[in-house]
Structure 1
Amino acid sequence: MRVLLVLPAEKSIFNYLVPVTWALRTAGHEVHVASLPRFASTITQAGLTAVPVGHDRDPWRITENRPEERAALRAGVAAPYDLYDVPGSATWDYLRDGMTAAVKGWHRLTNFPMLADLVSYTRYWEPDLVLWEPLCYAGAIAAKACGAAHGRLLFGIDVFGATRVDYLRTQARQAPADRVDPLADWLGSYARKYGFDAGEDLAVGDFTIDQLPASLSLDAGLDTVRVQFVPYGGAAVVPDWLKRPAERPRVALTLGLTATEVFGGYNVPLSEILLGLSELDVEVVATVAGDVQRTLPPMPSNVRMVPYVPWHALAPTCAAVVHHAGAATLATTARHPVPQLALHFHFDQPYLGRKLAEHGAGLEIHTGDATGGGVRDAVARLLTEPAFKARAADLRDEIFALPTPNELAGTLEELTAKHRTR
């Protein structure tokens, strides 16, 4: 069958989706990946076929020299999908106002530039299945326009589907005059334009592919297929120092690429944390952007700072890791019996950090509470209390019990036959 993956021009999201895409390719299916033209080289570097659609528009670059607009854009990406950051925040006012702002802002900004060209391509190429990143509604619209089955391919917990379910549940309790639904109205306008009936599948897909185990997931109550997460981080080279065993227990620290590439810096006292970790009898390996490294004071000899190292190669060599609770980083580490400390900030990070701690495979600290001493003491617990490693092994086993991406291919063939309308 023909499969089209549709996603925004965001490398961190694309990397998370590559293994499932390749599994379909190696199962014998013809696979294309559609995104903005500037992203074509990233797609082809992964050995996949790129379909440039629409015209380039990078909201982060547009606001690069306008900090107030960038801050508003950053907030707009989260709301209303950050409601799981603070339990109990799903009020109607928050959901209604947040969804209205999201549709007028981020959703239009990221989907409109590719939509018309994408619909034209799907009507020409006639894919059987369209997989789309959960905020790339252009994929759902284009799939419906050509009669393809379509599903969401998650890059983390399903805050988007769960928010949609909570929105509809809360909307039903409002007075009829206040039951607004800006997302349905926006998607419905494209359904009318391209000549098909609007349905809730435009918001949540015919089905959802979740790459996290149940212990780390947010159950939205939707038709979900769970698959084992397999890491891919782009071009990867194992450095010389990683070819040898560590002389002391190794502790790795990463705060993610997005912190510096998009948001302009880290939101924790990095030098304080590194100095605190150096007080332990460990080898610290920290991935720190080069320009940030130059601003830090000299570090003790047991602290190694590198701009990048393949996390899937580093994590198995560690006795513990510290990270920002990014889904891919956390899930990559979880494939090994390695305890984790999550320094979470916003969006889905607090939820993932809580789920990790509830499972017992690690600990969590909000970045607003992170200090050098606090991080040092938490890591000392991870290294010395056997229960953390035992629960990390249980989490690894739960992941390995899930179907691999290759095993998922047959399920997707069945779902395609069920939902395709052409």
Structure 2
Amino acid sequence: MRILFTTYPERTHFLLLAPLAWALRTAGHEVRVAVQPKFADVVTQAGLTAVPIGTDRDLWQYLGRLKEMAHAKKEWTEEWTGSKEVGWPTPYAAAEWEPEDVDWDYLRNGYELQIGQWHKQSNVPMISSLVEFAQSWRPDLVVWEPTTYAGAIAARACGAAHARLLIGADVYGITRDHYLRLGAERPKDDRADPMADWLGSYARKYGFEFGEELITGQFTIDMLPPSLRMRANLNYLPLRYTPYGGPAVVPKWLSTPPERTRVAITMGLTVTDRAVGYPVDVQDLFDALGDLDIEIVATIVEEEQRKLARIPDNIRPVPYVPLQALLASCSAVIHHAGVGTLATTALQGLPQLSLPWDVDQPALAERLAAQGAGLAVHAAKATGEAVRENLLRLLNEPSFVQGAARLREEFLAMPTPNELVPRLEELVAEHRGDG
């Protein structure tokens, strides 16, 4: 088969797609990854074949312009999220609400906002070029990042089967379920559907009719285990997360076992790649943890390290270290609850202290704590003292090690990328040409 992967240029999202692309390639299938030109090097560094498509447009650059227009982080946050709480932007915050609390106008207005401020910025630069390539190359399957709707459009335009590969909780599918449910209760002349109108215009352009699969795929690949996942009324395939952080070198000092209990601190790749700043006060954390009889390895970019007034003797700041290699020597991890970091930690069977800030991080952190594999403190409340108190609990209470072991078993029970390939082959045979 020919399989085409596509994502807008967000490195952390691509890193989640890469292991499945490798598995399909080693199974004998031809795999290509279609991305904006400036992102092609990220793909080739992973040993995959890149197809440059469209024009370069960075969603983060656009969001930066919004932030500058607002002149203040608080104002920008309220505009982007639709509320004073940092989290999923409108309308996707509704995915975490009870059905009776979800409002039609909130969803409709939220879709209109995000189509203009998010989805068009990510997709419009890619759509026409991606469709042209797909119609020429004729893939059997298109796998797309869940907001890269260009992938669904291209698949339908060339008759390929297609699937979303989730990058975390499926707030997009759940929100869409709410919208369809509430829409069915509206009068027929009052069922405005911004997503259907927008994607439907491309469907008509390329000779087919709008269908819900343009929003939620023919099927969805989910890397979260049962205790962490959030799902809609859709067809899901479980896939075990495979740790991959891109090209890396394991530092020599990691080959020596630590003399004291080692704890890792990481706030993820996105804040490093995009220089958006850490959601917690690093100096406050270091000061609060500096007198503990433990060794702390903190992945802090050099620019942020230079801002620190003090670095305690028990803390080793490093710009980057391969996470999987580091965690093999750790007893606990403090992190932002990004899905890649969380899953890598879970596969090591380590207790986790989550300091979530936005998107699905708070929801995942809450589920992680409920499962007993760790604790959670929202980044807005993550003072040094709060982090110290919760870290000591993780290190001293055996129940968290037991909970972490249970979570590890949940992850290990999911099929690996190689084990999923035969099922994907079956689904392609079922769906190719559908619609």
TM-score normalised by the chain length of structure 1: 0.96
CA displacement at 1:84 relative to structure 2: 4.3
Aligned counterpart, 2:149: 137
Query: Are residues 271 and 85 of structure 1, via their aligned partners in 2, closer, same or farther at CA, if it must alter by over 3 Å?
Result: farther
Please give the per-residue CA displacement for 1:10-64, whole angstroms capped at 9, x wherever unaligned: 1111011110110000011000000101111110000000011111111323554
Structure 1: 5+ residue runs without aligned partners? Answer: none
CA displacement at 1:108 relative to structure 2: 1.0
Secondary structure of the 2:47 match is coil
Query: Are residues 245 and 193 of structure 1, via their aligned partners in 2, closer, same or farther at CA, if it must alter by over 3 Å?
Result: same
Task: Verify: 1:119 aligned to 2:136, yes or no.
Answer: no
Report percent identity of matched pairs: 52
Which of 273, 284, 293 aligns to 1:272? It is 284
Kept after mapping to 1: 8 A contact 2:95/2:174 = no
CA displacement at 1:420 relative to structure 2: 0.3
Query: Are residues 87 and 237 of structure 1, via their aligned partners in 2, closer, same or farther at CA, if it must alter by over 3 Å?
Result: farther
Equivalent residues in 2 for 1:10-29 (5 A)? 10-29=10-29
Aligned counterpart, 1:373: 385
Q: Which amino acid aligns with 2:92?
A: Y
TM-score normalised by the chain length of structure 2: 0.93
Equivalent residues in 2 for 1:75-90 (5 A)? 75=81, 78-84=89-95, 90=102
Q: Which amino acid aligns with 1:357?
A: A
Q: Work out the CA distance in 2 between the residues paired with 1:65 and 1:217.
A: 33
Which of 260, 271, 288 aligns to 2:300? It is 288
Q: Work out the CA distance in 1 between the residues paired with 2:190 and 2:282.
A: 46
Aligned counterpart, 2:73: none
Kept after mapping to 2: 8 A contact 1:8/1:36 = yes
Secondary structure of the 1:176 match is coil
Equivalent residues in 2 for 1:17-416 (5 A)? 17-62=17-62, 64=64, 67-69=67-69, 71=76, 75=81, 78-84=89-95, 90-262=102-274, 264-416=276-428
Secondary structure of the 2:333 match is strand
Secondary structure of the 1:180 match is coil
Q: Which amino acid aligns with 2:91?
A: P
Kept after mapping to 2: 8 A contact 1:267/1:367 = yes
Deviates more, 1:138-147 or 1:252-261: 252-261
Figure out how many residues of one structure are paired with residues of the other and give that number.
Answer: 422
Q: Work out the CA distance in 1 between the residues paired with 2:187 and 2:287.
A: 56
Structure 2: 5+ residue runs without aligned partners? Answer: 71-75, 83-87
Q: Work out the CA distance in 1 between the residues paired with 2:331 and 2:241.
A: 21
Kept after mapping to 1: 8 A contact 2:169/2:230 = yes
CA displacement at 1:75 relative to structure 2: 4.0
Query: Are residues 68 and 82 of structure 1, via their aligned partners in 2, closer, same or farther at CA, if it must alter by over 3 Å?
Result: farther
Q: Work out the CA distance in 2 between the residues paired with 1:384 and 1:331.
A: 22
Q: Which amino acid aligns with 1:150?
A: H
Q: Work out the CA distance in 2 between the residues paired with 1:409 and 1:303.
A: 43
CA displacement at 1:129 relative to structure 2: 0.4
Kept after mapping to 2: 8 A contact 1:82/1:346 = no
Q: Which amino acid aligns with 1:80?
A: P
Kept after mapping to 2: 8 A contact 1:343/1:365 = yes
Q: Work out the CA distance in 2 between the residues paired with 1:183 and 1:395.
A: 36
Query: Are residues 74 and 283 of structure 1, via their aligned partners in 2, closer, same or farther at CA, if it must alter by over 3 Å?
Result: farther
Kept after mapping to 1: 8 A contact 2:283/2:310 = no
CA displacement at 1:297 relative to structure 2: 1.6
Q: Work out the CA distance in 1 between the residues paired with 2:217 and 2:67.
A: 35
Secondary structure of the 1:31 match is strand
Q: Work out the CA distance in 1 between the residues paired with 2:29 and 2:38.
A: 25
Q: Work out the CA distance in 2 between the residues paired with 1:340 and 1:392.
A: 8
Query: Are residues 412 and 43 of structure 1, via their aligned partners in 2, closer, same or farther at CA, if it must alter by over 3 Å?
Result: same
CA displacement at 1:97 relative to structure 2: 1.1
CA displacement at 1:133 relative to structure 2: 0.5
Kept after mapping to 2: 8 A contact 1:322/1:343 = yes
Q: Which amino acid aligns with 1:157?
A: A
Q: RMSD over aligned Cα, in angstroms?
A: 1.8
Aligned counterpart, 2:85: none
Q: Work out the CA distance in 1 between the residues paired with 2:230 and 2:356.
A: 17
Secondary structure of the 2:247 match is coil
Q: Which amino acid aligns with 1:156?
A: G
